[in-house]
Amino acid sequence: MSRIFTKKEKQRIIKEIQYFFLEEREEEIGIIAAERVFDFFTGNLGKIFYNKGLDDARIWFSKRMEDLEIDYDLLYK
């Protein structure tokens, strides 16, 4: 799943994970541990977030189509 991120993006996310553990849990974790956290979330939760995004896009698109139908109906004379 991490192939959707560039190497630079993944490195930034790894640093954010390390920062989170330091600030929130007062734990200093290394790169390997942070990568495991990253892999866990992308592997186990990535699909859930992806599907949620698709659902949100479907709702947004449906609303736009309703608006388009209203606009189209207004063109009738």
Q: What is the pLDDT of residues 32-74, one digit of tens each?
A: 999 999 999 999 999 999 999 999 999 999 999 999 988 888 8
- Rounded CA-CA distance 9/26 in Å is 24
Chain-centroid distance of CA 3 in Å reads 14
Structure tokens, 33: 């541990």
Confidence of residue 2 (pLDDT cuts 50, 70, 90): low
pLDDT at 35: 98
pLDDT exceeds 80 at position 1: no
Structure tokens, 6: 């560039």
pLDDT at 71: 87
Domain coordinates of the chain in residue numbers?
Answer: 1-44, 46-77
